[in-house]
Structure 1
Protein backbone atom coordinates (compact mmCIF):
# COMPACT_ATOMS: atom_id res chain seq x y z
CA UNK A 1 0.00 0.00 0.00
CA UNK A 2 2.85 2.35 0.91
CA UNK A 3 4.54 1.49 -2.36
CA UNK A 4 1.46 2.50 -4.36
CA UNK A 5 1.14 5.76 -2.44
CA UNK A 6 4.78 6.63 -3.09
CA UNK A 7 4.36 5.91 -6.80
CA UNK A 8 1.25 8.10 -6.98
CA UNK A 9 3.05 10.87 -5.08
CA UNK A 10 6.08 10.62 -7.38
CA UNK A 11 4.00 10.77 -10.55
CA UNK A 12 1.84 13.62 -9.20
CA UNK A 13 4.85 15.70 -8.17
CA UNK A 14 6.48 15.16 -11.57
CA UNK A 15 3.33 16.26 -13.36
CA UNK A 16 3.06 19.40 -11.21
CA UNK A 17 6.67 20.39 -11.92
CA UNK A 18 6.22 19.69 -15.63
CA UNK A 19 3.12 21.91 -15.68
CA UNK A 20 5.09 24.69 -13.96
CA UNK A 21 7.96 24.28 -16.42
CA UNK A 22 5.58 24.27 -19.39
CA UNK A 23 3.85 27.41 -18.08
CA UNK A 24 7.19 29.24 -17.83
CA UNK A 25 8.16 28.04 -21.30
CA UNK A 26 4.85 29.31 -22.70
CA UNK A 27 5.32 32.72 -21.02
CA UNK A 28 8.83 33.06 -22.41
CA UNK A 29 7.58 32.31 -25.90
CA UNK A 30 4.28 34.20 -26.11
CA UNK A 31 4.96 37.17 -23.84
CA UNK A 32 8.56 37.89 -24.86
CA UNK A 33 9.92 36.15 -27.97
CA UNK A 34 7.09 35.65 -30.45
CA UNK A 35 5.68 39.22 -30.34
CA UNK A 36 9.17 40.45 -31.32
CA UNK A 37 9.70 37.81 -34.04
CA UNK A 38 12.45 36.14 -32.02
CA UNK A 39 12.29 32.36 -32.19
CA UNK A 40 13.36 29.38 -30.14
CA UNK A 41 15.19 26.34 -31.48
CA UNK A 42 13.92 22.86 -32.26
CA UNK A 43 10.41 21.96 -33.36
CA UNK A 44 9.07 25.04 -31.58
CA UNK A 45 11.23 27.27 -33.78
CA UNK A 46 9.97 25.53 -36.91
CA UNK A 47 6.40 25.87 -35.62
CA UNK A 48 6.83 29.60 -34.96
CA UNK A 49 8.00 30.17 -38.55
CA UNK A 50 5.17 28.11 -40.05
CA UNK A 51 2.57 29.76 -37.80
CA UNK A 52 3.79 33.23 -38.83
CA UNK A 53 2.98 32.57 -42.49
CA UNK A 54 -0.17 30.47 -42.01
CA UNK A 55 -3.33 30.64 -39.95
CA UNK A 56 -2.48 27.47 -38.01
CA UNK A 57 -2.17 28.17 -34.24
CA UNK A 58 1.27 27.65 -32.73
CA UNK A 59 -0.05 25.27 -30.06
CA UNK A 60 -1.51 22.96 -32.69
CA UNK A 61 1.65 23.01 -34.80
CA UNK A 62 4.00 22.23 -31.91
CA UNK A 63 1.93 19.21 -30.93
CA UNK A 64 1.38 17.87 -34.47
CA UNK A 65 5.02 18.29 -35.57
CA UNK A 66 6.33 16.67 -32.37
CA UNK A 67 3.97 13.68 -32.59
CA UNK A 68 6.01 11.59 -35.09
CA UNK A 69 9.11 12.00 -32.90
CA UNK A 70 7.20 10.73 -29.86
CA UNK A 71 6.02 7.64 -31.73
CA UNK A 72 9.58 7.00 -32.88
CA UNK A 73 10.97 7.67 -29.40
CA UNK A 74 8.43 5.36 -27.75
CA UNK A 75 9.80 2.44 -29.74
CA UNK A 76 13.49 3.24 -29.31
CA UNK A 77 13.87 4.97 -25.92
CA UNK A 78 11.03 3.76 -23.74
CA UNK A 79 7.60 4.79 -22.59
CA UNK A 80 8.53 6.68 -19.40
CA UNK A 81 10.72 9.33 -21.02
CA UNK A 82 8.54 9.58 -24.12
CA UNK A 83 5.27 9.93 -22.20
CA UNK A 84 6.86 12.53 -19.92
CA UNK A 85 7.97 14.50 -22.96
CA UNK A 86 4.55 14.14 -24.57
CA UNK A 87 2.87 15.45 -21.41
CA UNK A 88 5.15 18.49 -21.22
CA UNK A 89 4.58 19.29 -24.92
CA UNK A 90 0.79 19.04 -24.47
CA UNK A 91 1.04 21.42 -21.49
CA UNK A 92 3.06 24.11 -23.25
CA UNK A 93 0.99 23.73 -26.45
CA UNK A 94 -2.07 24.58 -24.37
CA UNK A 95 -0.10 27.35 -22.64
CA UNK A 96 0.90 29.17 -25.82
CA UNK A 97 -2.68 28.91 -27.10
CA UNK A 98 -4.05 30.49 -23.91
CA UNK A 99 -1.40 33.24 -23.81
CA UNK A 100 -1.45 34.10 -27.52
CA UNK A 101 -4.08 36.90 -27.25
CA UNK A 102 -2.10 38.64 -24.49
CA UNK A 103 0.15 41.48 -25.77
CA UNK A 104 3.91 41.21 -25.34
CA UNK A 105 5.60 42.54 -22.21
CA UNK A 106 8.05 44.76 -24.13
CA UNK A 107 8.82 45.97 -27.62
CA UNK A 108 12.52 46.25 -26.87
CA UNK A 109 13.95 43.29 -28.78
CA UNK A 110 17.08 42.97 -26.65
CA UNK A 111 15.09 42.95 -23.39
CA UNK A 112 12.66 40.45 -24.88
CA UNK A 113 15.52 38.18 -25.97
CA UNK A 114 17.27 38.32 -22.60
CA UNK A 115 14.24 37.85 -20.37
CA UNK A 116 12.57 35.44 -22.79
CA UNK A 117 15.73 33.33 -22.82
CA UNK A 118 15.91 33.32 -19.01
CA UNK A 119 12.27 32.31 -18.56
CA UNK A 120 12.44 29.66 -21.28
CA UNK A 121 15.62 28.26 -19.73
CA UNK A 122 13.91 28.04 -16.34
CA UNK A 123 10.92 26.22 -17.84
CA UNK A 124 12.94 23.75 -19.90
CA UNK A 125 15.35 23.17 -17.01
CA UNK A 126 12.51 22.23 -14.68
CA UNK A 127 11.03 19.85 -17.24
CA UNK A 128 14.36 18.16 -18.00
CA UNK A 129 15.24 17.87 -14.32
CA UNK A 130 11.88 16.18 -13.75
CA UNK A 131 12.75 13.52 -16.32
CA UNK A 132 11.08 14.81 -19.46
CA UNK A 133 11.97 16.89 -22.48
CA UNK A 134 10.40 19.68 -24.52
CA UNK A 135 11.18 18.90 -28.12
CA UNK A 136 11.19 16.08 -30.64
CA UNK A 137 14.71 16.95 -31.77
CA UNK A 138 15.99 15.97 -28.32
CA UNK A 139 14.32 12.57 -28.70
CA UNK A 140 16.13 12.07 -32.02
CA UNK A 141 19.38 13.33 -30.45
CA UNK A 142 19.15 10.73 -27.66
CA UNK A 143 18.56 7.95 -30.20
CA UNK A 144 21.41 9.12 -32.47
CA UNK A 145 23.71 9.45 -29.47
CA UNK A 146 23.56 5.66 -29.09
CA UNK A 147 24.86 5.18 -32.61
CA UNK A 148 27.22 8.06 -33.46
CA UNK A 149 30.13 9.74 -31.70
CA UNK A 150 28.46 13.14 -31.22
CA UNK A 151 26.94 14.06 -27.85
CA UNK A 152 23.28 14.91 -27.30
CA UNK A 153 24.12 18.58 -26.85
CA UNK A 154 26.11 18.66 -30.10
CA UNK A 155 23.31 17.01 -32.08
CA UNK A 156 20.70 19.45 -30.73
CA UNK A 157 23.01 22.37 -31.55
CA UNK A 158 23.39 21.02 -35.10
CA UNK A 159 19.60 21.00 -35.59
CA UNK A 160 19.19 24.47 -34.11
CA UNK A 161 21.92 25.96 -36.30
CA UNK A 162 19.83 25.29 -39.41
CA UNK A 163 16.60 26.41 -37.74
CA UNK A 164 18.06 29.75 -36.61
CA UNK A 165 19.67 30.23 -40.02
CA UNK A 166 16.25 29.76 -41.63
CA UNK A 167 14.88 32.42 -39.27
CA UNK A 168 17.42 34.85 -40.73
CA UNK A 169 15.99 34.41 -44.22
CA UNK A 170 12.38 34.74 -43.03
CA UNK A 171 12.52 37.45 -40.34
CA UNK A 172 15.79 39.21 -41.11
CA UNK A 173 19.30 38.58 -39.82
CA UNK A 174 18.90 40.95 -36.89
CA UNK A 175 16.04 38.78 -35.60
CA UNK A 176 18.13 35.66 -36.15
CA UNK A 177 20.94 37.16 -34.08
CA UNK A 178 18.52 38.10 -31.30
CA UNK A 179 17.18 34.55 -31.48
CA UNK A 180 20.73 33.29 -31.03
CA UNK A 181 21.12 35.51 -27.94
CA UNK A 182 17.89 34.14 -26.46
CA UNK A 183 18.94 30.58 -27.28
CA UNK A 184 22.35 30.81 -25.60
CA UNK A 185 20.90 32.51 -22.52
CA UNK A 186 18.30 29.73 -22.28
CA UNK A 187 21.02 27.08 -22.57
CA UNK A 188 23.08 28.69 -19.79
CA UNK A 189 20.05 28.87 -17.51
CA UNK A 190 19.30 25.20 -18.25
CA UNK A 191 22.93 24.40 -17.36
CA UNK A 192 22.53 26.10 -13.99
CA UNK A 193 19.31 24.24 -13.16
CA UNK A 194 20.20 20.74 -14.36
CA UNK A 195 24.01 20.96 -14.08
CA UNK A 196 24.81 20.57 -17.73
CA UNK A 197 22.95 19.55 -20.88
CA UNK A 198 25.05 16.46 -21.45
CA UNK A 199 26.84 16.03 -18.13
CA UNK A 200 28.12 12.62 -17.14
CA UNK A 201 26.90 11.02 -13.92
CA UNK A 202 28.46 8.14 -12.02
CA UNK A 203 25.85 5.84 -10.48
CA UNK A 204 26.52 3.20 -7.82
CA UNK A 205 23.70 0.74 -7.12
CA UNK A 206 23.47 -1.70 -4.21
CA UNK A 207 20.69 -4.26 -4.52
CA UNK A 208 20.06 -7.98 -4.08
CA UNK A 209 18.65 -7.90 -7.63
CA UNK A 210 21.92 -6.60 -9.04
CA UNK A 211 22.04 -9.11 -11.90
CA UNK A 212 18.57 -8.25 -13.20
CA UNK A 213 19.23 -4.51 -12.83
CA UNK A 214 22.59 -4.75 -14.61
CA UNK A 215 21.09 -6.69 -17.53
CA UNK A 216 18.25 -4.15 -17.87
CA UNK A 217 20.68 -1.20 -17.90
CA UNK A 218 22.83 -2.81 -20.57
CA UNK A 219 19.84 -3.85 -22.68
CA UNK A 220 17.78 -0.65 -22.43
CA UNK A 221 20.52 1.99 -22.32
CA UNK A 222 23.33 0.25 -24.16
CA UNK A 223 25.72 1.15 -21.35
CA UNK A 224 28.62 -0.97 -20.17
CA UNK A 225 29.02 -1.28 -16.42
CA UNK A 226 31.33 -2.67 -13.75
CA UNK A 227 30.73 -4.94 -10.77
CA UNK A 228 32.51 -3.91 -7.59
CA UNK A 229 32.94 -6.29 -4.67
CA UNK A 230 31.06 -5.07 -1.61
CA UNK A 231 30.36 -6.21 1.93
CA UNK A 232 27.64 -4.97 4.24
CA UNK A 233 28.92 -3.32 7.42
CA UNK A 234 26.07 -4.57 9.61
CA UNK A 235 25.34 -8.11 8.44
CA UNK A 236 28.70 -8.50 6.67
CA UNK A 237 26.95 -10.05 3.67
CA UNK A 238 28.99 -9.98 0.48
CA UNK A 239 27.34 -8.48 -2.59
CA UNK A 240 28.08 -6.92 -5.98
CA UNK A 241 27.86 -3.16 -6.38
CA UNK A 242 26.93 -1.88 -9.85
CA UNK A 243 29.00 1.04 -11.12
CA UNK A 244 27.84 2.73 -14.34
CA UNK A 245 28.44 6.11 -15.98
CA UNK A 246 25.50 7.65 -17.87
CA UNK A 247 24.45 11.02 -19.24
CA UNK A 248 22.24 13.30 -17.15
CA UNK A 249 19.29 12.68 -19.46
CA UNK A 250 19.50 8.96 -18.64
CA UNK A 251 19.37 9.37 -14.85
CA UNK A 252 15.58 9.22 -14.69
CA UNK A 253 15.63 6.08 -16.82
CA UNK A 254 18.21 4.42 -14.52
CA UNK A 255 16.07 5.23 -11.49
CA UNK A 256 13.01 3.72 -13.15
CA UNK A 257 14.93 0.55 -14.01
CA UNK A 258 16.33 0.14 -10.50
CA UNK A 259 13.05 0.87 -8.69
CA UNK A 260 11.25 -1.45 -11.08
CA UNK A 261 13.28 -4.37 -9.72
CA UNK A 262 13.95 -3.22 -6.16
CA UNK A 263 12.28 -0.22 -4.55
CA UNK A 264 14.64 -0.56 -1.55
CA UNK A 265 17.82 -0.43 -3.64
CA UNK A 266 20.45 2.09 -2.58
CA UNK A 267 21.72 4.45 -5.28
CA UNK A 268 24.36 7.16 -5.14
CA UNK A 269 24.70 9.62 -8.04
CA UNK A 270 27.60 11.99 -8.54
CA UNK A 271 29.12 14.26 -11.17
CA UNK A 272 32.19 12.96 -12.99
CA UNK A 273 34.55 14.02 -15.76
CA UNK A 274 34.86 11.15 -18.23
CA UNK A 275 37.50 10.39 -20.84
CA UNK A 276 38.07 7.26 -22.86
CA UNK A 277 36.33 5.56 -25.76
CA UNK A 278 34.84 2.85 -23.55
CA UNK A 279 32.36 5.37 -22.18
CA UNK A 280 30.45 5.46 -25.47
CA UNK A 281 27.34 3.34 -25.54
CA UNK A 282 27.09 0.06 -27.33
CA UNK A 283 24.68 -0.03 -30.27
CA UNK A 284 21.18 -1.19 -29.36
CA UNK A 285 19.85 -3.55 -31.98
Structure 2
Protein backbone atom coordinates (compact mmCIF):
# COMPACT_ATOMS: atom_id res chain seq x y z
CA UNK A 1 0.00 0.00 0.00
CA UNK A 2 1.54 3.30 -1.09
CA UNK A 3 2.18 5.85 1.62
CA UNK A 4 1.10 9.42 0.97
CA UNK A 5 3.91 11.96 1.25
CA UNK A 6 3.05 14.98 3.34
CA UNK A 7 3.11 18.27 1.45
CA UNK A 8 5.81 20.54 2.92
CA UNK A 9 4.71 23.94 4.18
CA UNK A 10 6.61 27.20 3.84
CA UNK A 11 7.70 28.74 7.11
CA UNK A 12 7.28 32.46 7.76
CA UNK A 13 11.00 32.89 7.01
CA UNK A 14 10.59 30.94 3.77
CA UNK A 15 7.80 33.26 2.69
CA UNK A 16 9.67 36.41 3.74
CA UNK A 17 12.82 35.60 1.78
CA UNK A 18 10.91 34.28 -1.24
CA UNK A 19 8.65 37.32 -1.47
CA UNK A 20 11.58 39.70 -0.88
CA UNK A 21 13.60 38.07 -3.67
CA UNK A 22 10.61 38.11 -6.00
CA UNK A 23 9.94 41.79 -5.38
CA UNK A 24 13.63 42.66 -5.83
CA UNK A 25 13.94 40.83 -9.17
CA UNK A 26 10.65 42.27 -10.41
CA UNK A 27 11.71 45.77 -9.37
CA UNK A 28 14.91 45.46 -11.39
CA UNK A 29 12.88 44.30 -14.39
CA UNK A 30 10.43 47.18 -14.08
CA UNK A 31 13.38 49.58 -13.66
CA UNK A 32 14.68 48.49 -17.07
CA UNK A 33 11.17 48.74 -18.55
CA UNK A 34 10.68 52.28 -17.26
CA UNK A 35 14.20 53.33 -18.30
CA UNK A 36 13.45 52.37 -21.91
CA UNK A 37 9.91 53.76 -21.86
CA UNK A 38 8.39 50.39 -22.74
CA UNK A 39 4.93 49.15 -21.77
CA UNK A 40 3.61 45.79 -20.63
CA UNK A 41 0.36 44.02 -19.82
CA UNK A 42 -1.54 43.23 -16.62
CA UNK A 43 -1.67 45.73 -13.76
CA UNK A 44 1.81 47.06 -14.54
CA UNK A 45 0.54 47.97 -18.01
CA UNK A 46 -2.42 49.80 -16.51
CA UNK A 47 0.02 51.67 -14.27
CA UNK A 48 2.14 52.71 -17.27
CA UNK A 49 -0.93 54.15 -19.00
CA UNK A 50 -2.14 55.80 -15.79
CA UNK A 51 1.28 57.34 -15.22
CA UNK A 52 1.34 58.65 -18.80
CA UNK A 53 -2.13 60.19 -18.42
CA UNK A 54 -1.55 61.78 -15.02
CA UNK A 55 2.16 62.58 -14.99
CA UNK A 56 2.71 60.41 -11.91
CA UNK A 57 5.79 58.24 -11.55
CA UNK A 58 5.37 54.54 -12.28
CA UNK A 59 5.81 53.61 -8.62
CA UNK A 60 3.02 55.92 -7.48
CA UNK A 61 0.74 54.89 -10.35
CA UNK A 62 1.34 51.18 -9.69
CA UNK A 63 0.44 51.59 -6.02
CA UNK A 64 -2.77 53.52 -6.78
CA UNK A 65 -3.95 51.25 -9.60
CA UNK A 66 -3.79 48.24 -7.30
CA UNK A 67 -5.89 49.72 -4.48
CA UNK A 68 -9.34 48.67 -5.82
CA UNK A 69 -8.23 45.07 -6.24
CA UNK A 70 -7.41 44.49 -2.58
CA UNK A 71 -11.08 44.24 -1.58
CA UNK A 72 -11.62 41.65 -4.31
CA UNK A 73 -8.51 39.76 -3.26
CA UNK A 74 -9.60 39.69 0.39
CA UNK A 75 -13.04 38.32 -0.44
CA UNK A 76 -11.83 35.85 -3.06
CA UNK A 77 -8.45 34.64 -1.78
CA UNK A 78 -8.34 35.48 1.92
CA UNK A 79 -6.45 37.70 4.33
CA UNK A 80 -3.03 36.01 4.04
CA UNK A 81 -2.88 36.40 0.26
CA UNK A 82 -4.12 39.99 0.45
CA UNK A 83 -1.62 41.05 3.13
CA UNK A 84 1.26 39.50 1.18
CA UNK A 85 0.10 41.18 -2.01
CA UNK A 86 -0.24 44.61 -0.37
CA UNK A 87 3.25 44.21 1.08
CA UNK A 88 4.72 43.17 -2.28
CA UNK A 89 3.02 45.92 -4.28
CA UNK A 90 3.97 48.61 -1.77
CA UNK A 91 7.57 47.38 -1.61
CA UNK A 92 7.91 47.28 -5.39
CA UNK A 93 6.45 50.79 -5.68
CA UNK A 94 9.02 52.13 -3.20
CA UNK A 95 11.99 50.27 -4.69
CA UNK A 96 11.14 51.36 -8.25
CA UNK A 97 11.08 54.96 -7.03
CA UNK A 98 14.54 54.56 -5.47
CA UNK A 99 16.33 52.64 -8.22
CA UNK A 100 16.98 55.56 -10.63
CA UNK A 101 19.03 57.24 -7.88
CA UNK A 102 20.88 54.21 -6.52
CA UNK A 103 21.14 52.09 -9.69
CA UNK A 104 21.20 54.43 -12.71
CA UNK A 105 21.19 52.84 -16.14
CA UNK A 106 22.95 53.90 -19.32
CA UNK A 107 22.13 53.16 -22.95
CA UNK A 108 20.49 49.75 -23.46
CA UNK A 109 19.38 48.27 -26.76
CA UNK A 110 15.58 47.87 -26.63
CA UNK A 111 15.78 44.17 -27.56
CA UNK A 112 18.17 43.45 -24.70
CA UNK A 113 16.12 45.59 -22.35
CA UNK A 114 12.88 43.85 -23.29
CA UNK A 115 14.38 40.38 -22.75
CA UNK A 116 15.97 41.48 -19.47
CA UNK A 117 12.66 42.90 -18.26
CA UNK A 118 10.76 39.75 -19.21
CA UNK A 119 13.29 37.38 -17.64
CA UNK A 120 13.80 39.28 -14.38
CA UNK A 121 10.14 40.08 -13.84
CA UNK A 122 9.07 36.57 -14.80
CA UNK A 123 11.47 35.03 -12.29
CA UNK A 124 10.34 37.54 -9.67
CA UNK A 125 6.70 36.70 -10.23
CA UNK A 126 7.47 32.99 -9.95
CA UNK A 127 8.99 33.56 -6.52
CA UNK A 128 6.02 35.66 -5.42
CA UNK A 129 3.47 33.14 -6.74
CA UNK A 130 5.20 30.24 -5.01
CA UNK A 131 4.84 32.02 -1.69
CA UNK A 132 1.14 32.80 -2.15
CA UNK A 133 1.43 36.45 -3.09
CA UNK A 134 0.93 38.62 -6.15
CA UNK A 135 2.09 41.87 -7.72
CA UNK A 136 -1.13 43.00 -9.28
CA UNK A 137 -4.89 42.85 -9.37
CA UNK A 138 -5.80 41.85 -12.93
CA UNK A 139 -5.24 38.19 -12.09
CA UNK A 140 -7.61 38.47 -9.15
CA UNK A 141 -10.22 40.14 -11.35
CA UNK A 142 -9.81 37.33 -13.88
CA UNK A 143 -10.47 34.72 -11.17
CA UNK A 144 -13.59 36.62 -10.12
CA UNK A 145 -14.86 36.71 -13.72
CA UNK A 146 -14.23 32.99 -13.96
CA UNK A 147 -16.21 32.29 -10.79
CA UNK A 148 -19.18 34.56 -11.55
CA UNK A 149 -19.53 34.41 -15.32
CA UNK A 150 -17.71 31.21 -16.29
CA UNK A 151 -15.06 33.07 -18.28
CA UNK A 152 -11.67 31.37 -18.25
CA UNK A 153 -9.20 33.41 -16.22
CA UNK A 154 -6.49 33.05 -18.85
CA UNK A 155 -8.74 34.48 -21.55
CA UNK A 156 -9.72 37.41 -19.33
CA UNK A 157 -6.05 38.23 -18.76
CA UNK A 158 -5.28 37.93 -22.48
CA UNK A 159 -8.20 40.23 -23.31
CA UNK A 160 -6.96 42.75 -20.74
CA UNK A 161 -3.45 42.67 -22.18
CA UNK A 162 -4.81 43.07 -25.70
CA UNK A 163 -6.81 46.13 -24.62
CA UNK A 164 -3.79 47.66 -22.85
CA UNK A 165 -1.54 47.20 -25.87
CA UNK A 166 -4.25 48.49 -28.23
CA UNK A 167 -4.51 51.71 -26.20
CA UNK A 168 -0.72 51.95 -25.95
CA UNK A 169 -0.46 51.59 -29.75
CA UNK A 170 -2.49 54.79 -30.09
CA UNK A 171 -0.13 56.66 -27.76
CA UNK A 172 3.39 55.32 -28.24
CA UNK A 173 5.55 54.79 -31.36
CA UNK A 174 5.25 51.44 -33.11
CA UNK A 175 8.85 50.55 -32.25
CA UNK A 176 8.06 50.89 -28.54
CA UNK A 177 5.08 48.57 -28.90
CA UNK A 178 7.10 45.96 -30.81
CA UNK A 179 9.86 45.83 -28.19
CA UNK A 180 7.25 45.87 -25.43
CA UNK A 181 5.53 42.84 -26.95
CA UNK A 182 8.87 41.02 -26.96
CA UNK A 183 9.24 41.68 -23.24
CA UNK A 184 5.68 40.51 -22.56
CA UNK A 185 6.26 37.31 -24.52
CA UNK A 186 9.46 36.52 -22.59
CA UNK A 187 7.75 37.21 -19.25
CA UNK A 188 4.78 34.98 -20.05
CA UNK A 189 7.01 32.18 -21.35
CA UNK A 190 8.99 32.21 -18.09
CA UNK A 191 5.73 31.85 -16.14
CA UNK A 192 4.21 29.30 -18.54
CA UNK A 193 7.24 27.00 -18.61
CA UNK A 194 8.14 27.18 -14.93
CA UNK A 195 4.94 27.74 -12.91
CA UNK A 196 3.97 24.08 -12.57
CA UNK A 197 1.89 23.01 -9.58
CA UNK A 198 2.68 19.35 -10.29
CA UNK A 199 6.42 19.98 -9.95
CA UNK A 200 6.41 22.37 -7.01
CA UNK A 201 4.20 21.20 -4.17
CA UNK A 202 5.30 23.19 -1.13
CA UNK A 203 2.60 25.50 0.24
* Structures share fold, TM-score greater than 0.5: yes
Structure 1: unaligned runs, 5 residues or longer: 1-6, 202-247, 256-285
Q: What's the secondary structure of 1:146's corresponding residue?
A: helix
Number of the residue aligned with 1:85? 85
Aligned residue-pair number? 194
* Larger proportion of helix: 2
Distance across 2 between alignment mates of 1:10 and 1:184: 33
Number of the residue aligned with 2:6? none
Number of the residue aligned with 2:191? 190
Answer with 36-45 or 131-140: which moved more.
36-45
Q: Which has the higher contact order (CA 8 A, sep 6+)?
A: 2
Shift of residue 131, structure 1, vs aligned partner: 1.1
Q: How does 1:174-185 map to 2 (within 5 A)?
A: 174-185=175-186
Structure 2: unaligned runs, 5 residues or longer: 1-8
CA RMSD of aligned residues (A): 2.4
Number of the residue aligned with 1:59? 59
Shift of residue 53, structure 1, vs aligned partner: 4.8
Q: Deviations over 1:190-229 (max 9, x none)?
A: 123312xxx7x6xxxxxxxxxxxxxxxxxxxxxxxxxxxx
Q: Residues 84 and 107 from structure 1, CA distance in 2 versus in 1: closer, same or farther, beyond 3 angstroms?
A: same
Q: How does 1:1-285 map to 2 (within 5 A)?
A: 10-30=11-31, 32-101=32-101, 102-104=103-105, 106-195=107-196
Distance across 2 between alignment mates of 1:40 and 1:155: 16
Q: Which has the larger radius of gyration?
A: 1
* Larger proportion of strand: 1
